[in-house]
Amino acid sequence: MRGLGITISVLLGSAIIAYIAAFIAGLSRISSNLLINKISSVYIEVFRGTSLIVQLFWLYYAIPMLFDFQLGSNWWTGVIAIGLNYGAYLSEVVRGSIMAVDKGQTEASIALNMSRFQRMRLVILPQAVRMMLPEFGNYTIQMMKATSLVSLIGMRDILYYGDIMRSTNLAYAPLIYVIVLVLYFILALPFIWMTKKGEAISKRGVASS
């Protein structure tokens, strides 16, 4: 339980960064500006195509060695690594949801003489966000489980204390890891509930055959 605060704070920080990165990169992917589009594509492919553990070690060990620059505390390193990694995945959810909005909605907003910004803000995004909710919920659960990796850079989260207890009580190692497992499951329950609510919200007003 002593590691619970770190686990929750890393999750919240990572989620904020991931959501912001997702919308920036997702919107950039559909931008008509070629430079913005390519930069966002590189970010997405690099962070989706490499391991989160490697990214975590790169930010924690490699960057300070190569550039004599540190991101700050271990907390910031873990939050930035997890946030940017899942932001890359979520950006495709943002892009796909926006592209899934019926083209007739765009045509109708053009007929109403709306600017591109107004079309996106008032017509397309409200409909797209509803479609994003289930996937955002699923990836938030994945982020919660990924917080266990911060123990590898010395952060005292739930798994860190679990490992300490296991090393000093080898006979109870299976029980200790069962308790760690249960704690992560309890943490996931609110997000599982929110994901189900998001799925219900996303289906409202949608015609079914």
**Amino acid present at 59:** L
pTM of the predicted protein model: 0.86
Tell whether 209 is covered by a domain.
Answer: no
The boundaries of the domain holding residue 130 are: 4-203
Tell whether 180 is covered by a domain.
Answer: yes
Residue pair 127/59 in contact by the 8 Å Cβ criterion: no
Question: At which residue do the structure tokens 């904020």 appear?
Answer: 16
What pLDDT does residue 171 have? 80
State how far the Cα of 33 lies from the Cα of 29, in Å rounded to an integer.
Answer: 9
Tell whether 81 is covered by a domain.
Answer: yes
Tell whether 17 is covered by a domain.
Answer: yes
Tell whether 164 is covered by a domain.
Answer: yes
CATH number at residue 40: 1.10.3720.10
What pLDDT does residue 144 have? 92
| Buried-exposed string 138-154: b where 16+ CB fall within 10 A, e elsewhere | bbbbebbebbbbbbebe
Tell whether 208 is covered by a domain.
Answer: no
- What is the C-alpha radius of gyration for the chain, rounded to an integer number of angstroms? 20
State how far the Cα of 177 lies from the Cα of 26, in Å rounded to an integer.
Answer: 38
Tell whether 95 is covered by a domain.
Answer: yes
Tokens of 184: 């992560």
Q: How far is it between the farthest Cα atoms of the chain?
A: 72
**Contacts (Cβ under 8 Å, ≥6 apart) of 120:** 27
Tell whether 126 is covered by a domain.
Answer: yes
Tens digit of each residue's pLDDT, the chain (209 residues): 788 899 999 999 999 999 999 999 999 998 888 999 999 999 999 999 999 999 999 988 888 887 777 766 889 999 999 999 999 999 999 999 998 888 888 888 888 888 888 888 888 888 888 888 888 989 999 999 999 999 888 888 888 888 888 888 878 888 988 999 999 999 999 888 888 887 777 776 554 43
**Count of structural domains within the chain:** 1
Residue pair 47/112 in contact by the 8 Å Cβ criterion: no
DSSP letter assigned to residue 114: -
